[in-house]
Amino acid sequence: MGTVSNNKENNNINSGREGVRGWLNPTRYGWERVSYWLQRLTGLFLLVYFVGHVYETSSITNGIDAWNSMLELTQTIGGHIFLILVIGTSTFHTVNGIRLIFTESGKGLGKPGRPDYPYNPSSLNYIQKSGIWVALLLACIAMLYGGMVLFGEGG
């Protein structure tokens, strides 16, 4: 059984197909890889939230009682924490997405140069790394502000 599984794994690696396992493999993570991974995870999370949000807000069509019942479910401590998570992920996804648009248009990649030891690629430079850090920092600030609004007066 183990041999069959190992053969399948070797075949997948040899064919260059690693699927979700390759996607989530932490051993090759630099900051750019973390950013790649977070961009996709936050995107999936936000898509699920968006579909849920479209569904929950549809309760407005069923009158005031249905709307208030929905609010009772979402306007709780757990609901607020979930919303803070949405604020953080959407901020990161937006800022990192803008960085990626600039990167794809060639901005912030540095000039191509002769590959010298230790062969650090010029494209993975401090501009890219600081962009990722700025995205994470802004996500934290947005979550903090969201928490103050949601848990503050009238939240």
Partner 1 sequence: MALLRLRESQITKIHYLTGILSLFAVAIHIIFRLIMPFGQSLSYENVVANYQNIFYVILLESILVLISIHGFNGLRIILIELKQSHRWESTITILVLIAMVGVIAYGTRTIVIASGL
Q: Are the C-beta atoms of 87 and 142 separated by less than 8 Å? A: yes
Among 17, 24, 107, 121, interactor with partner 1 by CB under 8 A: 17
Does the protein bind partner 1 through residue 20 (CB under 8 A)? yes
Residue 125 is given by DSSP the state S
Which residues in 44-106 belong to E strands, given as ranges? none
Per the structure block, which two tokens stand in for 49? 């939230």
Residues 36-65 that bind partner 1 (CB under 8 A): 40, 43-44, 46-47, 50-51, 54-55, 57-58, 60-61, 64
**Residue 2: in which H helix or E strand, if any?**
helix 2-14
Residues that bind partner 1 (CB under 8 A): 17, 19-20, 23, 40, 43-44, 46-47, 50-51, 54-55, 57-58, 60-61, 64, 67-68, 71, 75, 90, 94, 97-98, 101, 104, 149-150, 153-155
